[in-house]
Each structure stands twice: as structure tokens, then as C-alpha cells.
Amino acid sequence: PSAPPDNIQIGMYNQTAGWVRWTPPPAQHHNGNLYGYKIEVSAGNTMKVLANMTLNSTTTSVLLNNLTTGAVYSVRLNCFTKAGDGPYSKPISLFMDPTHHVHPPRAHPSGTHDGRHQEGQDLTYQNGMGDIHPNSDTHPTTHRTSSDYLPGIWLMVVIVIILLGVVISAAIAMVYFKRRHQMTKDLGHLSVVSDNEIT
């Protein structure tokens, strides 16, 4: 190919994972049938390669797992045909910002592959994410609005109510059994009248 993949987008999926998606280069740059894509993940400014991934031509998105919160990664892609590799794209930075609340893209991973981190840690990725719908703004990592937290707040309220119910029920049961035990103890001191003593 005479051009790298097109429309490359990158963003945080969560605090330890990022996503990348792209489209094939324009048809006039294919120079044959595309066989697949290669992705290179590097450590920030050092350009130390952490992972090389090879994906088939039908895969146009990838989920990068086991990333370090607060770290900066550089990602670049190319595509290849039977004749060989095309040029790599310009590196795109991914900052795993610990302060961002993330709207992850909707994805349905269908496979997992591993790339080995050079320092022994695993850097894994999943391909075949299906339709990804990141935020429509230019920054794929955005802060959530208060309405985004409403379902979580309701869940917390329900959990607190259930826990309070359990604690109150346990307290009532303890009081009941303590009083019952005390009554049994008090009744144990009473003497029992037999039939012979009645006549």
C-alpha cells in the first residue's frame, strides 16, 4: 500500500485500557488486496516498542488492555498486502489520564491476542470490537455530567435501603430471642405441681 490506514481514532476505554479504530486507506492506495494491519504501541516519548500486533484485514478496531494509569503511549498503524508493508501512520498519543471519567465505546470483543511488554508485563489487546461509537466531540475522553451518575446513585440508594433492612431485621431478631430466652429462664425457676399435690 502507498498510504497508511485512514481516520485513525484513539481514546481511553477505562483507567487501564485504550481503544484504537481506523478505516482502510483509500482504494487507489491499496495496490492489491489488503491482507491485514500492523499496530505498534510504544512508551510515550521514549518510543520504546511495547507491543507489535498483526490483525487481519476485516479488523478495524482494537482494545489495548493492561495499560498503566497516568502513562503516555504512542500508537501507529500500517497495512500490508501480499507484496509487503505500506507506510506507518504518524504516531498518535494516548494519555491514560487518571482524572478523566470515561465514556467507553460500545464494543463486542470477539477475540483476544497478546503482545509482550518488553519489561515482562503483559500488554493484551482484543480485536473485532464491532461498532464503536465514541463521543461525538473531538476528545474521546470526557467528563461525565451529573445525569450520567443518576443510575449509579439509584443503585447505591437501593443497596443502602436493603442493608438497613437487614440490620434492622437482625436487631429485631436479637431482641426477640433474648426476651424469649429470658422468659424460658424465668419459667425454669417455677416449681411444677404434680397430680398428687393437687389432691
Banded model confidence at residue 102, pLDDT cuts 50, 70, 90: low
pLDDT at 134: 35
Mean pLDDT of the chain: 77
| Cα separation, 123 vs 118, whole angstroms | 9
Q: b/e per residue, 103-138, with b = 16+ CB within 10 A? A: bbbebeeeeeeebebeeeeebbbbbbbeebebeeee
Supply angle C-alpha 44, 47, 53, rounded to 5: 95
| Phi, psi at 176, each rounded to 5° | -60, -50
Q: What band does 170 get if pLDDT is binned at 50, 70 and 90?
A: very high
Condensed to tens digits (0 to 9), the pLDDT of residues 113-139 reads 433 333 334 454 444 443 333 333 333
Do 65 and 16 meet the contact criterion of CB atoms below 8 Å apart? yes
pLDDT band, very low/low/confident/very high, at 157 (cuts 50, 70, 90): confident
* All structural domains of the chain with their residue ranges: 6-143, 151-191
Q: Confidence band (pLDDT; 50, 70, 90) for 171?
A: very high
d(CA 113, CA 55): 9
The mean per-residue pLDDT over the stretch 62-79 comes to 91
CA distances from 90 to 3, 40, 63, 115, 184 (A): 11, 11, 19, 21, 83
pLDDT at position 100 over 80: no
Fold of 6-143: Immunoglobulin-like (2.60.40)
pLDDT at 199: 61
pLDDT of 77 over the 60 cut: yes
Length reported for the chain: 199
Percent of the chain at pLDDT > 90 equals: 42
